[in-house]
Chain A
Amino acid sequence: MLEFDGLHKSFGANRVLDGVSFAVAPGSMFGFCGSNGAGKTTTMRIAMGLVRADAGEVRWQGRPLDQALRRRIGYMPEERGLYPKMRVGEQLAYFARLHGLDGAAATRAAEHWADRLGLGERRRDQVEKLSLGNQQRVQLAAALVSRPEVLILDEPFSGLDPVGVDALAEALLEQVRGGVPVVFSSHQLDLVERLCDAVGILARGAMVATGPVAELRRRESGRLLRVVVPDAPPGWAAALPGVRVVSERAGDTLLELAPGADDQAVLAAALRTGRVGHFAWREPSLVELFREAVAEPAGVAA
């Protein structure tokens, strides 16, 4: 297991992480979501030893990460970085060697990954001569070239075209099938939903939701109710006890029920307006879960 355990971090008076904990099982993909500035990058930097946590630690297979263990992690920083004037192949081999591969193995691995990511032709080109999309591929290759045991990727999909996204997704899924735990952060929630076994949503320095997407959905379902009542006057459900109107458009109404609110009372009220076209619990999308999770808690004064 890759465990992030109770990470706390403040920069001066600014508290960035306030007890971030989650675990990623080998061979699973973990999507790390959160609004900008929520602390995703700081969490990953702590794992890579680039920022020191005030408290808490990150463990791999039960051992706190140290410099030696970190060399077994493939890392892709949020701010992409490569030597602009170094050739693609040499650069990949260099990073492979920094991670502990010997010269021959590093050269082989560099060739392999350049070919795999469609950079075979560009191996002898300087990185700065490549298009941004191709530079991004080199960046990914740099994370994969050392045959890492763990992958930590900060926004790996940003800036990729759909074909690039698919290629990257396929490469990551292959790593997962090989037993590698993969953590990546992303704002593309549809992608996270499609690829990840589990997600974690970070808000205000703490994990507000973690778990498999399906489980999160189930946890949240039983709260959103979609009712289609074509003949109802606007605001027909506003007065029902424990019910909040999320959206209402020409009778297509989305209602959020507080715990304990009576769905049968809602049905009765709907029937009173006339014909009921649709009445069902709705599984929230990850986007809705995310919005829900990161919303400032109402009424709680800071």
Chain B
Amino acid sequence: MTASGPGSPGSTALVRLVAAREVSSRIRDKNFIVSSAVILLLLLGMMVFQVAVGGVEAGRIAVVADDGRLGPALEAQGEAVGVEVQVVDTMDEAEARAAVQAGEVDAALLDGTGPAPELLLVDRDPALEAVVGGAVSGLAVSDRLLEAGVDLQSIPEVAVTPLGDGEDDGQQVVVAVIGIVVLYGLLFLFAQFVAQGVVEEKSSRVVELLLATMRPWQLLAGKILGLGLLGLGQIVVIGVVGVAGALAFDLVDVPGELIGTVATVIAWFVLGYAFYACVFAVAASLVSRQEDLGSVLTPASMLLVVGFFVAFQAASDPSGTLAAVTSFVPGLSPLVMPVRQAAGEAAGWEVALAVVLMLVAIGLAVRLGGRVYSGALLRTSGKTRLREALRAERA
């Protein structure tokens, strides 16, 4: 051949080619785009919901003719009940009315320190009403008491002493549970993508053409790697959006811990994906039609579903025996261990052990799976038995 003739691509080049094809064809796939959008929207929706029920919304209150005491009283009252209050001074009633109607402020307080205080708002808002009511009556009471000569200094204040260990793990566990839902969803989605890809190649018979240029393991590795990178990209995007959103909406107290938990979930995604993608791919290689995929994927899917439910159980009882034991079981650990870690229940050596066990399982899945995959790939008719595939050989 001439100098510009074909060279011989090495394993790395072949695996990269396969991976690049997976990414480029999947990224244009409607299902993928829709599912990505749905997950992000769900996440954002969840945060907006948190904000809505969390009551950290700022309420703007216009105050007419404040004598300098109403503003601070409203803000203090707002803080006490968890509603942020912004006070806007206005000159007269007409201006305040116009501001409410224009939506510039949420409410306007007229004659706050007078005998007939009045609150103007577009729609009723119990939280705001409570804040204003409390502040106005508080001022009035202290005024009356002062008039009566009562010493306000002597009113006892309640001292607050938290009895927890000082760390708020509850929030971390909530983050971990959200992480587990995302992790579970993505593991399922991407392992399923791998399985569908394997069957697509078998059912369209393109696999014979592919195997004339590469070894089965190169095809398998490229496929798992390509879709894995896509999955990793997606979970990182979700993580970043989640963390950024949580910080922007001020949903968490300790950003460092939030980021730590998200990073843990992402790391477990990598391990979980490697395992499930391999198992799903191998199972899928046994059938030749998409219709048969469900039946061969059932055992592996069951494991994933069990892991999901155990992880939820672990979230409510992170120190329980079930959580402790299952957090070491390969296949379950990616879902359970992050919860225990977030709850601060897992020691360093426990995490390390779970990771090692998982790596061993991945190694086994790759080796055994590779053999089944090679043996079953060219049997493009009907269903291949696991044992037949293991026995089948290939050049």
- What is A's interface to B at a CB cutoff of 8 Å? 46, 48-53, 67-68, 70-73, 75, 77, 79-86, 94-95, 97-101, 105, 142, 146-147, 149
Contacts and interface: CB of A to CB of B under 8 A. Distances in A.
A77 B212 CA distance: 10
Contacts of A49: 211-212, 395
A23 B60 CA distance: 91
Nearest to A47: B212
Contacts of A70: 212-213
B6 A86 contact: no
B204 A81 contact: yes
Contact of A52 (B5, B210, B393): B393
B208 interface: yes
Contacts of B212: 48-50, 70, 73, 75, 77
B213 A99 contact: yes
Interface stretch (B7-15, B119-127, B129-137, B278-286): B7-15
A10 to B, nearest CB: 12
B25 A95 contact: no
B52 interface: no
A82 B21 CA distance: 14
B214 A98 contact: yes
B380 A79 contact: yes
Interface of B: 1, 4-9, 14, 17, 21, 25, 200-201, 204-215, 378, 380, 393-395
Given A50-B211, A50-B394, A98-B213, A81 B17 contact: no
B9 A100 contact: yes
Contacts of A73: 212
Which of A81, A84, A105 has most B Cβ within 10 Å? A81
A84 B209 contact: no
A247 to B, nearest CB: 40
A14 to B, nearest CB: 15
12 contacts: A46-B395, A49-B395, A50-B395, A51-B395, A67-B215, A71-B8, A81-B204, A81-B207, A81-B209, A82-B204, A85-B25, A147-B6
Which of B21, B25, B205, B395 has most A Cβ within 10 Å? B395
Nearest to A82: B206
B3 to A, nearest CB: 12
A84 B204 contact: yes
B375 to A, nearest CB: 12
Q: Which 6 A-B pairs have the closest CB atoms?
A: A81-B205, A100-B6, A81-B206, A52-B395, A77-B208, A79-B205
A84 B29 CA distance: 13
Given A49-B212, A97-B17, 15 more contacts: A48-B212, A50-B395, A53-B395, A67-B214, A75-B209, A77-B208, A81-B204, A82-B204, A94-B21, A95-B213, A98-B214, A101-B6, A142-B209, A147-B5, A147-B6
Contacts of A48: 211-212
Contacts, number: 85
B385 to A, nearest CB: 14
Nearest to A72: B6
B209 A95 contact: yes
Which of B6, B7, B14, B25 has most A Cβ within 10 Å? B6
A53 B395 CA distance: 8
A248 to B, nearest CB: 45
A77 B211 CA distance: 11
A113 to B, nearest CB: 14
Nearest to B205: A81
A50 to B, nearest CB: 6
B25 A86 contact: yes
A147 B2 CA distance: 10
Contacts of B204: 81-84
A79 B208 CA distance: 8
B14 to A, nearest CB: 7
Contact of B7 (A46, A80, A81, A100): A100
Contacts of B5: 147
B206 A50 contact: no
A70 B395 CA distance: 12
A167 to B, nearest CB: 21
A178 B394 CA distance: 33
B184 to A, nearest CB: 27
A70 B205 CA distance: 19
B205 A68 contact: no
A99 B209 CA distance: 11
B44 to A, nearest CB: 31
A75 B210 CA distance: 10
Contacts of A94: 17, 21
Contacts of B207: 81
Nearest to A48: B212
Contacts of B14: 98
Contacts of B7: 100
A253 B14 CA distance: 63
Nearest to A139: B209
B303 to A, nearest CB: 30
A55 to B, nearest CB: 13
Which of A68, A97, A142 has most B Cβ within 10 Å? A97
A98 B380 CA distance: 22
Nearest to A101: B6
Contacts of A46: 395
Contacts of A85: 25
B200 A83 contact: yes
B4 to A, nearest CB: 7
A134 B70 CA distance: 82
B6 A80 contact: no
A139 B209 CA distance: 10
Contacts of A146: 6
A293 B14 CA distance: 44
A134 B213 CA distance: 24
Contacts of B380: 79
Contacts of A81: 204-209
A52 B204 CA distance: 23
